[in-house]
């Protein structure tokens, strides 16, 4: 039986964890509250609006007057760009990384260990170390500035994804593949019929990680994209305040709330 001190300790731990969770949730709650306020309540310092309104969302999607300037954002376009780039990237990563991991986990070939460790080493390189060479390659050699290819293809072969899937596929018994081979199944059929179904947990984990990474990516799209019609959400939201030289907090918060919907 649990003693009174054990119950007290668990209660204290639960309270502490709830307080920590609220600390992390507070910025998000504040963002939602600000997005639902009318303009005259934005600077009142209160967490929740006295009068709930969707005027900030309407201004974001339809445009609004900022003094003598009529501002209208291409926010739906930003959303479509982010959705297309993210979903395409995730789909390609799952296919390419799974095939590479299958080869590393279940086949023996010359130079396998060297190639695998060279791939692991690339995970140690900070993104800033490869930023300039990558920009030169995709802008000067491939001429992919302001193109979707520049946002999708560089991340298709992901070292972390291959490593994650390789370690998982090594746990799948090779006897299953041997039995399939006896029944006449080739490598690709064994991959799609056996490896992929059994690797769903790892594939799902990789899909979530990749989705979050691409959806929130700011630096690479900032480097490769110049035209507003090609902006993804992080770039578009950032340019909203740069272009007009001021921050319209209500509209900015509305844009940020909508950007978090697929992630949440």
For 71-89, write each residue's pLDDT tens digit.
Answer: 778 899 999 999 999 999 9
Q: How far apart are CA 113 and CA 167, in angstroms?
A: 14
pLDDT at site 51: 87
CB 140 within 8 A of CB 152: no
Homologous superfamily assigned to 77-230:
MetI-like (1.10.3720.10)
Higher pLDDT, 109 or 43: 109
Higher pLDDT, 169 or 48: 169
- Sorted by where each begins, the domain ranges of the chain are 4-74+250-260, 77-230
The pLDDT confidence band at residue 245, using thresholds 50, 70 and 90, is low
pLDDT at site 67: 61
Mean pLDDT of 198-207: 96
Mean pLDDT of 85-111: 94
> Could you tell me which residues come within 8 angstroms of residue 38 by beta carbon, excluding any fewer than 6 positions away?
49, 51, 53, 55, 250
The pLDDT confidence band at residue 136, using thresholds 50, 70 and 90, is very high
Mean pLDDT of 43-70: 81
Q: Using the structure block, give the residue that is written with the tokens 């982010």.
A: 82
- Mean pLDDT is highest, among 78-92, 131-145, 228-242, for 78-92
Mean pLDDT of 197-213: 95
Q: Using the structure block, give the residue that is written with the tokens 């023996």.
A: 108
To the nearest whole number, what is the mean pLDDT of the chain? 89
């Amino acid at each position: 039986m649990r003693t009174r001190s054990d119950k007290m300790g668990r209660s204290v731990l639960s309270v502490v964890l709830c307080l920590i969770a609220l600390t992390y949730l507070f910025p998000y709650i504040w963002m939602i509250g600000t997005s639902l306020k009318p303009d005259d309540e934005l600077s009142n310092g209160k967490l929740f609006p006295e009068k709930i309104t969707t005027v900030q969302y309407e201004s974001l999607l339809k445009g609004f007057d900022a003094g003598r300037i009529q501002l209208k954002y291409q926010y739906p376009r930003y959303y479509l760009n982010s959705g297309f780039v993210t979903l395409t990237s995730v789909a390609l990563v799952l296919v390419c990384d799974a095939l590479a991991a299958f080869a590393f986990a279940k086949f023996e070939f010359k130079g396998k260990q060297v190639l695998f460790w060279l791939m692991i080493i690339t995970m140690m390189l900070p993104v800033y170390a490869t930023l300039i060479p990558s920009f030169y390659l995709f802008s000067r050699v491939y001429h992919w500035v302001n193109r979707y290819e520049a946002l999708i293809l560089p991340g298709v072969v992901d070292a972390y994804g291959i490593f994650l899937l390789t370690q998982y596929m090594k746990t799948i018994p090779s006897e299953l593949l041997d039995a399939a081979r006896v029944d006449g199944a080739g490598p690709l059929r064994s991959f799609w019929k056996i490896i992929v179904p059994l690797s769903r947990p790892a594939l799902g984990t990789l899909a979530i990680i990749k989705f979050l990474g691409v959806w929130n990516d700011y630096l690479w799209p900032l480097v490769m994209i110049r035209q507003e019609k090609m902006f993804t959400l992080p770039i578009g939201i950032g340019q909203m305040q740069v272009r007009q030289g001021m921050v319209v907090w209500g509209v900015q918060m509305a844009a940020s709330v909508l950007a978090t919907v697929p992630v949440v």
